[in-house]
Chain A
Amino acid sequence: MLMNMQKDKAIIQALNEEVFPSLSPNFNERAMQLIYKEVERKKKLNFIFMISCISAVSSGLIVMAIYLLKHYLSFNFAIHLQIPSFKPDAISQYYFDIYIAVLILVLVYLDHLFRNFWNKKRFEGSIGQ
């Protein structure tokens, strides 16, 4: 039953002789535009999805916190929160804490800057190629 393709020369010839219209000259460019649009759409959808997730989780946490505070944790904040006392011997410790906090903020800002720069460079690279 196995047929040999080379045996059916007439079918191959008939198919090769068939004349069919060709694609529009700007087909590939139009298709690429469509692809870029699809990518943009996907990015927007992802962003909306992310924002929705964050909003839902945040709302959930807020609602849960309010519920817990209202029903389970009935205490007076004024009594429980301690008034910070700045003793002279602890001041150097506070300076160190502030130094660490500033350092973290600077590093986070630098990370943000470099990420932005890297993403911009990659995007420009992909457009230019």
Chain B
Amino acid sequence: MDNQEEFQIIQRICEGEINLYSIFLHRYSNAIYSLIVRIVASKEDAEELTQDVFLKAFKKLDTFHGKSGFLTWIYRIAYNTAISATRKTRQEIYYFDESMIDKVSEQHVDQLFENDENETLHHQLQLSMDKLNPEEKMLLLLHYSKGEKINDIASIMSLSADNVKIKLYRLRKKLYFLITNVDEYAKR
């Protein structure tokens, strides 16, 4: 189903064919849930937030103009909902000296992340991802897991495309730093 088809279905929903909304629920509920559950950690909260996202999207459906895909549009709602939810609850914050990122060599980062068969590295990466703040996690998930384009991520996170690129660039270095200094950060 392309953007045009989705837009036509949305127009029909706005005209009263509400049951057609289940198409989007069946198609995208897992994608939205998988994104939120990695941010809020609790299964129950994530499910409730996913429901909230679809309800909010339904209420705002008449503002969808089909410029982007429905998934990108709903990711934006999911992002705002998940981030608001994390702000309401107490989150464990890891102190991280951002100036350390500048000392990390780009070549080392490239070499480390090129390797996709190192199980230990994968495990370390998963542990390091838990130490990222919700915005960083979301950026990582949207780019690497959901495969969203830079421009779409920029629209989802209300940033400029250049800003997204810079954030991703620093994020890779931060992950590298967290992995290579795992002993120090594990204690915090």
**B and A form one assembly:** yes
A36, B18: Cβ atoms closer than 8 Å? yes
Whether A89 is near chain B, meaning CB under 8 Å from some CB there, is no
A15 to B145, CA, bound (A): 6
A12, B116: Cβ atoms closer than 8 Å? yes
Residues on the A chain within 8 Å of B29, using CB: 23, 27-28, 31
Q: Which chain A residues (71-121) contact chain B, with CB distance < 8 Å?
A: none
Whether A70 is near chain B, meaning CB under 8 Å from some CB there, is no
B21, A8: Cβ atoms closer than 8 Å? no
Selected contact of B165 from candidates A2, A122, A126, A127, CB within 8 Å: A2
A35, B55: Cβ atoms closer than 8 Å? yes
Whether B136 is near chain A, meaning CB under 8 Å from some CB there, is no
In the complex, what's the smallest C-beta–C-beta distance from B132 to chain A, in angstroms?
Answer: 12
Q: Given A5-B144, A27-B29, A11 and B175 touching (CB < 8 A)?
A: yes
Q: How many positions in chain B have a CB within 8 Å of any CB in the partner chain?
A: 49
Residues on the A chain within 8 Å of B86, using CB: none
A24, B140: Cβ atoms closer than 8 Å? no
Q: How many positions in chain A have a CB within 8 Å of any CB in the partner chain?
A: 35
Selected contact of B114 from candidates A9, A22, A23, CB within 8 Å: A9
B43, A7: Cβ atoms closer than 8 Å? no
Q: Which chain A residues (8-52) contact chain B, with CB distance < 8 Å?
A: 8-18, 20-24, 27-28, 30-32, 34-36, 38-39
Q: Given A20-B34, A24-B47, A15 and B141 touching (CB < 8 A)?
A: yes
Q: Given A24-B47, A32-B22, A13 and B58 touching (CB < 8 A)?
A: no
Please give me the residue from chain A that is nearest to B41 by CB atom: A20
A1 to B172, CA, bound (A): 11
Selected contact of B143 from candidates A5, A9, A17, A18, CB within 8 Å: A5
B contact set with A: CB distance below 8 Å: 16-22, 25-26, 29-30, 33-34, 37-38, 43, 46-47, 50-51, 54-55, 58-59, 110, 112-116, 118, 121-123, 125-126, 129, 140-141, 143-145, 147, 165-166, 168-169, 172, 175
Seed contacts A12-B116, A23-B33; 10 additional CB < 8 Å A-B pairs: A1-B169, A12-B145, A15-B140, A22-B33, A23-B50, A24-B47, A27-B51, A38-B55, A126-B16, A129-B17
The 30 listed contacts between A and B (C-beta, < 8 Å) are: A1-B165, A1-B169, A3-B165, A9-B113, A9-B116, A10-B112, A10-B113, A11-B113, A11-B172, A12-B116, A12-B145, A14-B123, A14-B126, A15-B129, A16-B145, A21-B43, A22-B30, A22-B33, A23-B33, A27-B29, A27-B50, A31-B29, A31-B50, A32-B19, A32-B21, A35-B18, A35-B21, A36-B18, A126-B17, A129-B19
